[in-house]
Amino acid sequence: MPKANALPSLSLRIDLDDGSRIGPGKIALLENIERHGSISAAGRAMDMSYKRAWDLVDEINRVCRQPAVARQTGGRNGGGAALTPFGAQLVERYRRIERDAAHAVKKDLAALRSDIEKPKKPRGAKAAS
């Protein structure tokens, strides 16, 4: 349930020249890979299939000049994945852009909320039949 007086939110998606995109879902996946140490665990944390998570990581790695995720094949301790320094920088830069954009439109989002919110019913008012 939304919080009372919560502003409408801004969702940021960066469209790249080749038609691919980087947005909140891919960034959240990268953050979960860093947190959980594997693509499969990151996908599970997001209720995403391993194939979907793998495909998104592959897309991110293909569209960037350098890989954002380094995969380790299985072995005695199993496989895993971690963000490369570039991947960590990508997440940091995206989150900074997101914060700056949200800050820049805060007043407009407040005005939008005021313009679109439904009027509150007076206490004790009965619903029309």
Report the pLDDT value the prediction gives residue 77, as an integer from 0 to 100.
Answer: 61
- The string of DSSP letters for 50-82 reads HHHHHHHHHHHHHHSSS-SEEEE--STT--EEE
Give the pTM: 0.79
Taking Cα atoms as reference points, which of 30, 101, 42 lies closest to residue 67? 30
Could you report the per-residue pLDDT of 12-70, keeping only the tens digit for each? 999 998 899 999 999 999 999 999 999 999 999 999 999 999 999 999 999 998 999 99
Mean pLDDT score of the chain:
87
Terminal Cα-to-Cα distance of the chain (whole angstroms): 26
Helix ranges, the chain (H): 24-36, 39-45, 50-63, 85-104, 106-116
Report the pLDDT value the prediction gives residue 114, as an integer from 0 to 100.
Answer: 84
